[in-house]
Structure 1
Amino acid sequence: MIQFILNNQVIKTSANAGITLLDFIRDHQQLKGTKIGCREGDCGACTVLVGELTENKVTYQSITSCISPLGNANGKHIVTVEGINLPKELNAVQKAMTDNYATQCGFCTPGFVVSMTGYALENNKTTSCNDAISGNICRCTGYKSIEKAGYEIEHKLQQQNGNQQIDWLIKEGFIPDYFKTIPEKLQQLQPKNFEKTGVKVANGTDIYVQHADKMAEEDVHLLTDKNALKGISFTEGICTLGVNTTVTEIAESKQLQTLFPKLKQFLKLVSSEQIRNMGTIGGNFVNASPIGDMSIFFLALNSTLTIQKEDGSTRQIPFQEFHQEYKKYDLQEGEILQLIQFKVPQAEDFFNFEKVSKRTHLDIASVNAAGRISVVNDTIIEAHFSLGGVAAIPKYLHKTNAFLIGKTISSETVKEAETVLQSEISPISDVRGNAEYKRLLARQLFFAHFLELFPNQVELKKLIT
């Protein structure tokens, strides 16, 4: 039986763990404020908050409930727009929206309000309120008014005393007072683990886009409660990530931010706030998309993948060998991904990530690229470049990387390497652009790595002449 708290109500249900959280909220609980829009996680109309108890404190994140399995709510606090209403007046976010004329047809408004409230509930705000709504779409194009509401909320939150966050938010009218009781209520829940049978699902951001109706009728093997698949650790110069680690968890890791100073800037290009909160790196790998952002990212880190067999034993392979053909990968019956590891960058190591897409947020790449390069005395001793959108799989550039080793960093070297690069990619024309356009993007993004990382040795003028 699934047990969780929905707003201020304890829920115990025997509903199929594979139905979407959105459908349970609307059809089983008749809470219609959470809207049905795209059913693909793209529009944010179905945004809810998920609160998880850690050390007697509840931390909240926004997610899109249309592609989240109900079973993943087990043991958590789910908050819909009805759950942040105050008894007799608008809450602080709702008031900011109305004061700035940020509601038009109103269909998207609940999703925006929930996302902004989630921002207010964040313990360590390292983004802006308007970053928090990067996964919410307003079809009436009322963005400027919504942005003004976001700035107003940010200004009000700057007055907050962080020591008693929940009490302050209640006092200032951001959330109702029942939020104070949630930690104790979550402790009293006794959620049980599910049977390990059926289709394997982490957080659903891929499989539920394509097969939500099918998943509602099937058994699901939920992977989110497997602690062995979570976490980020460092041992003897190796960084290890469980494959259930989300993009947000990577972006918020202080150690990874130290190793990759532009990490948050890179990962803001990956989908949207709600999807980054849900999407796991393992899910991105087995999606096997030729433009998978995290696949391209970890290919450039020359990572090693650990695969767990059904009997608990494991095997390791270079990540560059995992993807074999279009949507095919090296995972046998009964196996699951467990860990991915890479060597911690040293002083001689440089890393960069680039992506071109039609929208800045919440969009798939036309071409994405990453590169890790080791340089000693201007000589390249190691190179690992990858490209997405230019082959049937996320492409590790074997020939280009081999060519670069032993070369001196210069504009001439980069131009020669780009010629090699073009010989080993095979883009096709599709909705993201024609083959010629993708070759041009591959060229430009490859150049961009060197212009960003070695501005004193590589000149744009020499690259394009």
Structure 2
Amino acid sequence: MIQFILNNHKIKTPLNAGVTLLDFIREHQQLKGTKTGCREGDCGACTILVGTPYGDEVSYESITSCISPLGNANGKHIVTIEGVNLPKELNTVQQAMTNNYATQCGFCTPGFVVSMTGFALRSFDVTQDENQTCNDAVSGNICRCTGYKSIEKAGFEVEKRLQQKDKNHQISWLIKEGFIPDYFKAIPQRLSALQDVNSSVVEQSVKNIKVASGTDLYVRHADKMAEQNVHLLVDETDLKGIFFSEGMCTLGVNTTVTEIIENKKLQRFFPGLKRFLKLVSSEPIRNMGTLGGNFVNASPIGDMSIFFLALDAILTIRREDGTERKIPFQSFHQNYKVYDLQKNEILKNISFEVLKANDFFNFEKVSKRTHLDIASVNTAAKISIADNIITQAHFSIGGAAAIPKYLYSTNKFLTGKAMEAKTITEAAKVMQSEISPISDVRGSSAYKRLLATQLFFAHFIELFPNQIEPDTLCTR
């Protein structure tokens, strides 16, 4: 039995945990404001908010309900467009959309309103964090008729209102200012009551299909998943969290991209972290997608696989009997969609050495559009320098082989060499001998080879601008 709160109503349902949350909302609850669009998590028409309890508070994030299993709603607050409506007037976000003529046919509008409301519910300070904007919040929402300028203006209006937000009494202030209805005040207590009687209601059998957030599986197999018994992993506590100890950082495989972006310690080690990971999907998908899901998707262009390959990471795998084994992440992917994981095993965590003063990291990605797109080529690099000598090199590349590629020969060639243009140009030739891109919808083989070289050079130009002049690097 699955229990959660949907808007202002308690839900208790015996439905299969593998049914999509979108289908439950529309077909079983008849809440038609949440739209069915692409069913792949790309258009945002089905955007909802998920409120997860943390102590006495509830943290809200936007997700795309078309690729989320119903079972993951267990113990949470699910908010649709109907759940942010006020009794007799438009709420603040809806009014901003109206003021700026930001809706025409209206099909996409509920998703935009929900995403902007989710932005208002986040706890950061709008006046201080330039990386958090209302228009980032709607990065997963597509409109086909209005044109984004009017929606952007509505976002600016929402941001202006939020500059006055009382962070110490956030929910009360948002209710008072008309962003959300007043039933939100009682949600923490109501969720707590649910949890007291409902600690684990979703059957967790190791024989069932294993699902974390479903952002890959539900794109391809949503109908099949609705009929299958699923083993939901997303709330397993030993698969969650980001920990630092003795110079190592360990991330549970249920860690989402959003949790990585917002971790203050990781931001210190990776000053460009937000810039890097804003290139990964859209905000609703970053709120859902887990590291483990990205790894076992085994896509040759998996962004997070490329990211962690360059960190020379170690993967921990948990067996059904509770024992564990560790392997270098670079050996996990073995062939196209083939990886080192047995049926009685799941991924547990991934760990890497935190960056030191002489370590430098960079991530690059080129796709047909900058955001909400998969890469033509993506690549990451960790370079260690001492007295202008490269003491360690860890380069990875996606879109250039059948697997996310760790560049063994290139890394070996660079180690011990001087940091100079000649070294980099020669290393690029070694890199070209390691890759074997194919022509597909994301570009021809020749195009990807050119991209690989240009992005390889980009790492050095970005990390060592005072030592490497772009004009000194040769692509021939």
TM range (shorter): over 0.9
1:142 maps to which of 143, 147, 151: 147
Contact residue 239 and residue 341 of structure 1 kept, 8 A: yes
Contact residue 300 and residue 396 of structure 1 kept, 8 A: yes
1:87 counterpart SS class: coil
- Could you tell me how far apart the structure 1 residues matched to 2:111 and 2:105 are? 13
The residue type paired with residue 34 of structure 1 is T
Q: Note the aligned Cα RMSD (angstroms).
A: 0.8
The residue type paired with residue 141 of structure 2 is N
Equivalent position of 2:183 in the other structure:
178
The residue type paired with residue 322 of structure 1 is F
Equivalent position of 2:14 in the other structure:
14
The residue type paired with residue 172 of structure 1 is E
Equivalent position of 1:102 in the other structure:
102
Equivalent position of 2:67 in the other structure:
67
Contact residue 135 and residue 361 of structure 1 kept, 8 A: no
Give CA deviations for 1:320-349 in whole Å, capped at 9, x if unaligned: 000000000000121000010000110010
Displacement of 1:192 in angstroms is 4.0
Displacement of 1:141 in angstroms is 4.8
Equivalent position of 2:443 in the other structure:
433
Contact residue 103 and residue 146 of structure 2 kept, 8 A: no
- Could you tell me how far apart the structure 2 residues matched to 1:42 and 1:436 are? 29
1:284 counterpart = 2:291: no
Contact residue 47 and residue 64 of structure 1 kept, 8 A: yes
Consecutive aligned runs of 4 or more in structure 1 exceeding 6 Å deviation: none
Contact residue 102 and residue 146 of structure 2 kept, 8 A: no
Give CA deviations for 1:22-68 in whole Å, capped at 9, x if unaligned: 00000000000000000000000000000011011011000000000
1:448 counterpart = 2:453: no
The residue type paired with residue 341 of structure 1 is S
Equivalent position of 1:195 in the other structure:
203
1:244 counterpart = 2:244: no
Contact residue 309 and residue 406 of structure 2 kept, 8 A: yes
Equivalent position of 1:325 in the other structure:
335
Give CA deviations for 1:99-144 in whole Å, capped at 9, x if unaligned: 1000011100000000000000001154100000000000115200
Give CA deviations for 1:385-425 in whole Å, capped at 9, x if unaligned: 00000000000000000000000001111100000000000
2:203 counterpart SS class: coil
Equivalent position of 2:267 in the other structure:
257
Contact residue 59 and residue 122 of structure 2 kept, 8 A: yes
- Could you tell me how far apart the structure 2 residues matched to 1:78 and 1:295 are? 30
1:113 counterpart = 2:113: yes
2:407 maps to which of 379, 382, 397: 397
Which structure 1 segments of 5+ residues have no match?
Answer: none
- Could you tell me how far apart the structure 2 residues matched to 1:333 and 1:223 are? 15
Displacement of 1:12 in angstroms is 0.3
Q: How many residues align?
A: 465
Contact residue 134 and residue 155 of structure 2 kept, 8 A: yes
- Could you tell me how far apart the structure 2 residues matched to 1:435 and 1:448 are? 20
Equivalent position of 1:29 in the other structure:
29
- Could you tell me how far apart the structure 2 residues matched to 1:74 and 1:412 are? 57
1:388 counterpart = 2:388: no
Displacement of 1:21 in angstroms is 0.3
Which structure 2 segments of 5+ residues have no match?
Answer: none
- Could you tell me how far apart the structure 1 residues matched to 2:42 and 2:386 are? 44
- Could you tell me how far apart the structure 2 residues matched to 1:445 and 1:36 are? 38
1:303 counterpart = 2:303: no
- Could you tell me how far apart the structure 2 residues matched to 1:362 and 1:67 are? 16
Equivalent position of 2:174 in the other structure:
169
1:214 counterpart SS class: helix
Displacement of 1:237 in angstroms is 0.3
- Could you tell me how far apart the structure 2 residues matched to 1:464 and 1:171 are? 61
Equivalent position of 1:338 in the other structure:
348
1:90 counterpart SS class: coil
Name the % identity: 72
Q: TM-score scaled to structure 2, two decimals?
A: 0.97
- Could you tell me how far apart the structure 2 residues matched to 1:334 and 1:137 are? 40
1:53 counterpart = 2:53: yes
- Could you tell me how far apart the structure 2 residues matched to 1:110 and 1:427 are? 41
Contact residue 334 and residue 403 of structure 2 kept, 8 A: yes
Give CA deviations for 1:133-183 in whole Å, capped at 9, x if unaligned: 000000115200000000000001001121111111001100000000101
- Could you tell me how far apart the structure 2 residues matched to 1:14 and 1:358 are? 43
- Could you tell me how far apart the structure 1 residues matched to 2:378 and 2:229 are? 35
Contact residue 104 and residue 142 of structure 1 kept, 8 A: no
Deviates more, 1:279-288 or 1:358-367: 358-367
The residue type paired with residue 198 of structure 2 is P
2:227 counterpart SS class: coil
- Could you tell me how far apart the structure 1 residues matched to 2:16 and 2:199 are? 14
- Could you tell me how far apart the structure 1 residues matched to 2:471 and 2:104 are? 48
Contact residue 284 and residue 295 of structure 1 kept, 8 A: yes
1:216 counterpart SS class: helix
Give CA deviations for 1:239-294 in whole Å, capped at 9, x if unaligned: 00000000000000000000001101100000000000000011000000000000
- Could you tell me how far apart the structure 2 residues matched to 1:334 and 1:7 are? 38
- Could you tell me how far apart the structure 2 residues matched to 1:104 and 1:302 are? 50
Contact residue 2 and residue 192 of structure 1 kept, 8 A: no
1:66 counterpart SS class: helix
Displacement of 1:464 in angstroms is 3.4
- Could you tell me how far apart the structure 1 residues matched to 2:171 and 2:413 are? 57
1:160 counterpart SS class: coil
Displacement of 1:453 in angstroms is 0.5
- Could you tell me how far apart the structure 2 residues matched to 1:185 and 1:138 are? 35
